[in-house]
Amino acid sequence: MKWMFFVLLAANLGLAAVTYVRERLPDPDAQLVRQQMNADQIRIVAPRPAPAPAPVAAVPGPGVCLLWGNFAAADLPGAQAALEVLALGERVRRFGVTVSTSYWIYIPPLKSKPDMERKANELKDRGVTDYSPILESGRWRYAISLGAFRTEEEAKTRLVMLRRKGVRSAQIGEREQGTTQTAFLVRDPTAAQSAQLVNLKAEYSGSDLRAVDCPPS
């Protein structure tokens, strides 16, 4: 039975060693208490503010032009006169732009060509000169076109102007066709000229002003 004695002795020695080591280890609860006692030394650091976005340049950089357009025949004279006030000289260039329109304003077909001509004379008397009589055979023969537009909103704006001039028979319809309008390209505008162009865009609500790469001189 000596082997049983040695087994019990080894077990007691192992238990004594575990107890000795555990008593020497730091108490985690005591550490937590000590950390809480130093709570007055804790500082809350505010997050760093995000960097401010880079300012948008008010004037296009070198090689960048401003494109203002597009103008139908009715609005073109006013836009041209407004640009002349800016005294841009040779730095502004005018060119035609082919656009695909989806709305138009028209007076429905009249009974005969004389009836169409009388209606055209009435338009002139009311100060409406931007119109095109339709003489081609087909469903629109002897109708009168009063303008083509890219969006329905542009067509509605034009229709309101016609109503103010007393044109009551004009209507808006959908019609997909290509037409040529006019745009202006301004090279190297100054800060003041850029601001004036922004104001002009606001006056012509249907127009668009954007920066584009300048074409070769």
What pLDDT digit, counting tens, does each position of 166-186 carry?
999 999 998 877 778 899 999
> Residue with structure tokens 């950089």?
61
Domain hosting 188: range is 64-212
Quick one: residue 62, left, alpha or beta (phi over 0 = left, psi -120 to 50 = alpha)?
A: beta
Please report whether residue 52 resides in a domain. no
Please report whether residue 109 resides in a domain. yes
Helix (H/G/I), strand (E/B), else coil: 145: strand
Residue 27 pLDDT = 52
pTM of the model: 0.47
Please report whether residue 188 resides in a domain. yes
Q: How many independent structural domains does the chain possess?
A: 1
CB 182 within 8 A of CB 94: yes
For residues 32-50, give the mean pLDDT: 44
Please report whether residue 13 resides in a domain. no
Please report whether residue 20 resides in a domain. no
Please report whether residue 71 resides in a domain. yes
Percent of the chain having pLDDT more than 70? 71
Alpha helices in 46-101 (DSSP H): 76-85
Please report whether residue 26 resides in a domain. no
Please report whether residue 83 resides in a domain. yes
CB neighbour class for 147 (10 Å; exposed up to 12, middle 13-18, buried from 19): buried
Give per-residue pLDDT as tens, 115-157.
Answer: 999 999 999 999 998 899 999 999 999 999 999 888 889 899 9
CB 67 within 8 A of CB 183: yes
Helix (H/G/I), strand (E/B), else coil: 146: strand
